[in-house]
Structures are given as C-alpha cells and as structure tokens.
Amino acid sequence: MTRLREELFEEPACKTIFSIIKTDVLEGKPIDFGAVATQIRGEAELNLLSELTLSEDIDDRTIENLDENLRPLERRALDRRRQEIQRDIIDAERSGDIARVDRLVSEKLELSRIPNTLK
C-alpha cells in the first residue's frame, strides 16, 4: 500500500481528497465520507467527493485489486516526472548550471531503471 502516494494524482481535487483520507486508506480503515466533507472547502473537491460517495464502482474488489489499479496512475506520474526532468535539463543547460544538469540526468537514469511492470 505504500505505493499509493499523492504525486500519483494529477488533479488537484484528487490530491486534496487523498491527502485527507490517506492515513485511513493506508491503514485499511473504512473511509468516513461525512468526516472528509467537513475538511474540504473547494467546489471541485466537494463535487468529486459527491461523485465518490454515490459511486458503486468502489467496492471491496476494487480495494483488493488496488495494486493492479495503481499501475496506470504510476505510469502517468512517471511520464509527467520524465517530461518535467527533460524541461528542467533544458533550462539548466541554457543557464549553464552543469551541477543541476548532472543531478537531473542521474534522476532521469534512475527513472529509466524502474521495472517494466509499470511500462
């Protein structure tokens, strides 16, 4: 379950809701949507929470298959990070920051070593 992290979520509303429920999710506790609703203020978050509470797609089987369901999120987060690193490398090269280029290239190399199960 430690693979479930905030950076996997691209949408700010998803990140906000996950940040509120992550402890319960990671500990395998049921989600108290009423308690979550008291902690959010944004309209996008409230709309998403409403959709989640009305959804019948989230069931015990979904939770049991969480590992499989995380792969697409992880792939997209990895792709976003690779693109971000590439942009940062270009910026660092333009500014002549060789030390930063080296760090970014090392990080890019590390990302390329992630097992093919995500790819």
Domain range enclosing 76: 68-119
State the average pLDDT over residues 13-25.
82
The DSSP code sequence of 35-71 is: HHHTT---HHHHHHHHHHHH-SS-SHHHHHTHHHHHH
Structural domains in the chain (count): 2
Residue 2 has pLDDT above 80, yes or no: no
On whether both 43 and 87 belong to a single domain, the answer is no
| Residues 72 and 57 placed together within one structural domain of the fold | no
pLDDT of 38 > 60? The answer is: yes
Asked whether residue 7 falls in the same domain as residue 43, the answer is yes
HSE of 85 in the Cβ direction (CA atoms, 13 Å)?
18
Which residue did the predictor score with more confidence, 68 or 71? 71
Query: What is d(CA 95, CA 113) in angstroms, rounded to the nearest whole number?
Result: 28
The answer to whether residues 2 and 56 belong to one domain is yes
Please check the confidence at residue 20 and state whether its pLDDT lies above 60: yes
pLDDT of residue 94: 96
Mean pLDDT of 30-57: 79
